[in-house]
Structure 1
Amino acid sequence: MYIVIHYIKRGRIMIRDFHSHLGRTSSGDASTPEALVKMMDKFEIEQVGVSCLSGNNMEEQNLYVYEAMKKFPGRIVGYAFINPKSKNAIDEINKNLDSRGMAGIKFHSWKHGYYPDNCPILDDLFTRISGYEAHVQTHVGTSPLSTPEAWGQIAKRHPDVPVVFTHIGYYDQGYMAVELAKNTANIYLETSGQYDSWLLQKVIDEVDSNKILFGTDWPYKYHSIELEKFKYLN
Structure 2
Amino acid sequence: MTTSSAAATAASIVDACVLVGRSRFGGELTLPAAARQAGDLGVHTLIVTSAAPADRDLPGATERLLRAAAATGLAVRVEVLARVDPWEPDAVGAAERALAGGAVGVFLHPWEETFRINEHALLDPLLRLLAAEGRPVVVEGGYPWVSEPAQLADLAVRHPEVPVVATRGGHMNMSGLSGQTALRALRAAPNLRVLTSGVYRQDWLAGVVDELGAERLCYGSLAPVLEPRMELLRPAALTDPVARDLVLAGNATQLFGLDSR
**Which band: TM-score by shorter chain?**
0.7 to 0.9
Secondary structure at the residue paired with 1:137?
strand
CA contact (8 A) 1:19 1:217 kept: yes
What's the offset of the Cα at 1:118? 3.3
Find 1:83's aligned residue among 74, 82, 85: 85
Q: 1:52-131 maps to which residues of 2 (within 5 A)?
A: 52-55=50-53, 56-71=56-71, 75-98=77-100, 100-131=101-132
Q: Deviations over 1:99-131 (max 9, x none)?
A: x11111111111111123335121111011111
Q: Which amino acid aligns with 1:176?
A: T
Alpha-carbon spacing, 1:61–1:177, altered in 2? closer, same or farther (3 Å): farther
1:35 is aligned to 2:33: yes
Name the residue aligned to 1:212.
217
Secondary structure at the residue paired with 2:112?
helix
Structure 1 vs Structure 2 CA RMSD: 2.1
Name the residue aligned to 1:202.
207
Secondary structure at the residue paired with 2:44?
strand
Alpha-carbon spacing, 1:63–1:96, altered in 2? closer, same or farther (3 Å): same
Name the residue aligned to 1:226.
231
Alpha-carbon spacing, 1:54–1:168, altered in 2? closer, same or farther (3 Å): same
Q: 1:129-208 maps to which residues of 2 (within 5 A)?
A: 129-172=130-173, 173-208=178-213
Q: How many aligned positions are there?
A: 223
CA contact (8 A) 2:152 2:170 kept: no
CA contact (8 A) 2:25 2:52 kept: no
Compare 120-129 and 168-177 and name the one that shifted more: 168-177
Compare 125-134 and 111-120 and name the one that shifted more: 111-120
Gaps of 5+ in 2: 1-8, 240-261
What's the offset of the Cα at 1:16? 0.7
Q: Which amino acid aligns with 2:22?
A: R
Structure 1 runs of 4+ with >6 Å offset: none
Name the residue aligned to 2:253.
none
CA contact (8 A) 2:17 2:220 kept: yes
Normalised TM-score (structure 1): 0.87
Distance in 1 separating the partners of 2:160 and 2:235:
30
Distance in 2 separating the partners of 1:200 and 1:76:
26
Gaps of 5+ in 1: 1-10
Higher strand share: 1
Q: Which amino acid aligns with 2:82?
A: A
Higher helix share: 2
Normalised TM-score (structure 2): 0.78
Secondary structure at the residue paired with 2:133?
coil
Secondary structure at the residue paired with 1:14?
coil
Distance in 2 separating the partners of 1:79 and 1:227:
20
CA contact (8 A) 2:148 2:171 kept: no
CA contact (8 A) 1:165 1:177 kept: no
Q: Deviations over 1:121-169 (max 9, x none)?
A: 2111101111112101111101011112112112111111111011102
Q: Which amino acid aligns with 1:105?
A: V
Alpha-carbon spacing, 1:57–1:142, altered in 2? closer, same or farther (3 Å): same
Q: Which amino acid aligns with 2:193?
A: Y
Aligned identity (percent) is 23
What's the offset of the Cα at 1:94? 0.7
What's the offset of the Cα at 1:232? 4.8
